[in-house]
């Protein structure tokens, strides 16, 4: 029997539903409320959490790991280390979140009664080896933790103890690399084991198997992979790492990661891996994934736009909003809105964005075309605005008293590409990204990154226009995406406001 969840309202919605560097989505529902968590790697606070009433509009309600007692990344933890692939579940009146800290701590489990927080301190799982941990409970109250590979541990989720020996489970299509991102569900008479395989690059895909017990034996779906865009020219690529959820009306949905590459050959994605939504039908006891596209039919229920993250922050509040992220930690003494009311004050720790331990506060670039502006007072130091992929890949505009400089760091190459005297006092710095409009050359990059300052009358003075491919995952490597933020490289700098304006999805 075919049960269609694709509604016929005529309305459409846009994918990704959570744009920008928001990979490895895990979703759960409690009543009419959906919650979703993503990986955060070297950034602090860690594991962004979102809420939605309609699966389409998501509001960030916090970060699960926002205290040093929950997340202590070594100051030299590598970029694309840190926190990988959470699983978020609602069980027994509580929210459960399990995640791997690959840089220190291994697998960690947290609980909360309200997903907006506070989340507990971690329960450590020293006996659970492997990334991408999943949590599932059977009717006898056993808690099963399944990890990439794919293997499974029975655990006591309250103490973190492993009970008995790990079992090896179905590991995906023979010959396919990287069976990972397992999620285990009891649906009807079967236990379903959903995995990603093929690696998180262009060959990524989603496959599934089913069995009568939580540990199998598992029979693979004859239609595997149930979702992949490998070998296609689809605008959404690298599709994989999925999770399933059922809506109150009985329809099923999948969240997954994908990327939107731009430019010529081989294509570069600059926003990281983003979170997409797609409907799922069930045919003969197997999930059939609907068409994943940038614009797709809206769900059948009334849409409920949430509170979109504001573009502008005037730093008038004592706490930073949850979308602000820093590198590895954020000591309050180095980053505060309390020192100079109405301004964000940053005190330099490291010397520049080449250092792992630099004072940096940024937000994810979520749109291919966007304009970021910030008013900086560099009277007592040096600092500025940067587009960051990692320590070896960033473009910066740095202000010092009387001067601004634009710097491009690309792998081992480091160059001051422009500089200009400025009048004494605060200056507006600007970074603007724009996709390259026409593909008349196979080597065309994905976008340009324009960097400059504003004259007192608001006129833009471009100091450099840089090829965006060098700040893409295909060049830099790793698992993250661009973050555009403020930094301090010497002394103390103050930022009056930061304005993020989307210009095009």
The residues binding ligand 6LW (CB under 6 A) are 23-24, 39, 84-85, 131-132, 180-181, 196, 200, 240-241, 257, 479
What's the chain's length in residues?
Answer: 505
Q: How far is the CB of 41 from ligand 6LW (least distance, A)?
A: 8
**Smaller CB distance to ligand 6LW: residue 26 or 422?**
26
376, 399 in Cβ contact below 8 A? yes
Q: How far is the CB of 158 from ligand 6LW (least distance, A)?
A: 25
**Smaller CB distance to ligand 6LW: residue 267 or 491?**
267
Is the C-alpha dihedral spanning 68, 72, 78, 80 positive or negative? negative
Structure token pair of residue 371: 């304009």
Active site residue: 66, 180, 274, 391, which one? Answer: 180
**What is residue 94's three-state secondary structure?**
strand
Cα distances (Å, whole numbers) of residue 366 to 45, 69, 78, 117: 18, 30, 23, 24
**Dist CA 345 CA 492 (whole Å):** 7
Residues β-bridged to residue 484: 363, 387
**Smaller CB distance to ligand 6LW: residue 275 or 356?**
275
Residue nearest to ligand 6LW (CB): 200
166, 155 in Cβ contact below 8 A? no
274, 258 in Cβ contact below 8 A? yes
**Smaller CB distance to ligand 6LW: residue 49 or 466?**
49
**For residue 45, is the peptide bond before it cis, meaning its omega torsion is within 30 degrees of 0?**
yes
Q: How far is the CB of 362 from ligand 6LW (least distance, A)?
A: 19
Q: How many CB atoms lie within 10 A of CB 289?
A: 23
**Dist CA 146 CA 135 (whole Å):** 7
The number of angstroms, rounded, from the C-alpha of 463 to the middle of its chain's C-alpha atoms is: 30
Q: How far is the CB of 241 from ligand 6LW (least distance, A)?
A: 4
**Smaller CB distance to ligand 6LW: residue 131 or 303?**
131
What would the 3-class secondary structure string for 403-461 be? Answer: EEEEEEEECCEEEEEEEEECCCCCEEEEEEEEECCCCCCCCCCCEEEEEEEECCCCCEE
Structure token pair of residue 94: 């509580």
**Smaller CB distance to ligand 6LW: residue 240 or 384?**
240
Catalytic annotation present for 180: yes
Structure token pair of residue 488: 């301090």
DSSP single-letter state for residue 299: P
Phi and psi of 476, rounded to 5°? -80, -30
Structure token pair of residue 481: 């995406």
Residues β-bridged to residue 88: 97
How many Å from the N-terminal Cα to the C-terminal Cα in the chain?
38
Q: How many CB atoms lie within 10 A of CB 267?
A: 17
Q: How far is the CB of 46 from ligand 6LW (least distance, A)?
A: 13
**Smaller CB distance to ligand 6LW: residue 196 or 348?**
196
73, 47 in Cβ contact below 8 A? no
Phi and psi of 81, rounded to 5°? -90, -150
Q: How far is the CB of 379 from ligand 6LW (least distance, A)?
A: 41
**What is residue 298's three-state secondary structure?**
coil
Catalytic annotation present for 462: no
Phi and psi of 468, rounded to 5°? -75, -15
**Smaller CB distance to ligand 6LW: residue 241 or 349?**
241
Q: How far is the CB of 431 from ligand 6LW (least distance, A)?
A: 26
**Smaller CB distance to ligand 6LW: residue 258 or 468?**
258
Q: How far is the CB of 102 from ligand 6LW (least distance, A)?
A: 8
Q: How far is the CB of 84 from ligand 6LW (least distance, A)?
A: 4
Residues β-bridged to residue 230: none
> Which residues are part of the catalytic machinery?
24, 180
């Amino acid at each position: 029997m075919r049960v269609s969840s694709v509604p016929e309202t005529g309305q459409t919605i846009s994918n990704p539903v959570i744009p920008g560097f928001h990979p490895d989505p895990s979703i759960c529902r409690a009543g009419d409320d959906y919650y979703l968590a993503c990986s955060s790697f070297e950034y602090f606070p860690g594991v962004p959490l979102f809420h939605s009433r309609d699966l389409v509009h998501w509001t960030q309600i916090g970060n699960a790991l926002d205290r040093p007692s929950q997340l202590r990344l070594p100051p030299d933890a590598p970029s694309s280390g840190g926190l990988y692939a959470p699983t978020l579940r609602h069980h027994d009146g509580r929210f459960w979140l399990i995640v791997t800290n690959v840089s220190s701590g291994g697998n960690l489990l947290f609980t909360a009664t309200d997903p907006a927080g506070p989340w507990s301190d971690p329960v450590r799982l020293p006996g659970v080896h492997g990334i991408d941990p999943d949590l599932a409970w059977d009717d006898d109250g056993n808690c099963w933790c399944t990890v990439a590979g794919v293997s499974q541990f029975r655990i006591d989720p309250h103490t973190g103890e492993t009970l008995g020996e790990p079992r090896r489970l179905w590991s995906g299509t023979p010959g396919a690399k990287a069976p990972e991102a397992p999620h285990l569900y009891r649906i009807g008479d079967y236990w379903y084991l959903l995995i990603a395989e093929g690696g998180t690059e262009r060959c990524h895909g989603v496959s599934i198997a089913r069995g009568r017990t939580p540990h199998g034996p598992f029979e693979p779906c004859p239609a595997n992979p149930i979702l992949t865009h490998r070998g296609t020219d689809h605008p959404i690529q690298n599709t994989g790492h999925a999770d399933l959820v059922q809506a109150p009306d009985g329809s099923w949905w999948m969240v997954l990661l994908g990327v939107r590459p731009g430019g010529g050959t081989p294509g570069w994605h600059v926003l990281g891996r983003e979170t997409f939504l797609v409907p799922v039908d069930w045919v003969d006891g197997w999930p059939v994934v609907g068409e994943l596209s940038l614009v797709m039919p809206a769900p059948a229920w009334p849409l409920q736009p949430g509170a979109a993250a504001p573009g502008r922050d005037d730093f008038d509040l004592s706490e930073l909003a949850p979308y602000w992220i820093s590198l590895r930690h954020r000591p309050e003494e180095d980053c505060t809105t309390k020192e100079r009311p109405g301004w964000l004050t940053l005190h330099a720790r490291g010397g520049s964005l080449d250092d792992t331990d630099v004072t940096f506060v940024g937000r994810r670039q979520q749109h291919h075309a966007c304009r970021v502006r910030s008013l900086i007072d560099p009277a007592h130091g040096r600092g500025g605005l940067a587009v960051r992929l990692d320590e070896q890949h960033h473009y910066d505009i740095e202000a010092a008293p009387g001067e601004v400089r634009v710097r491009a760091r690309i792998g081992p190459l480091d160059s001051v590409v422009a500089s200009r005297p400025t009048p004494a006092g605060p200056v507006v710095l600007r970074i603007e990204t724009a996709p390259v409009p026409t593909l008349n050359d196979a080597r065309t990059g994905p976008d340009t990154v324009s960097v400059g300052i504003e004259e007192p009358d608001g006129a833009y003075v471009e100091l450099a226009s840089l090829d965006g491919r060098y700040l893409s995952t295909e060049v830099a490597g790793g698992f993250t995406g661009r973050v555009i933020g403020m930094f301090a490289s010497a002394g103390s700098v103050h930022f009056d406001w930061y304005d993020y304006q989307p210009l095009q999805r």
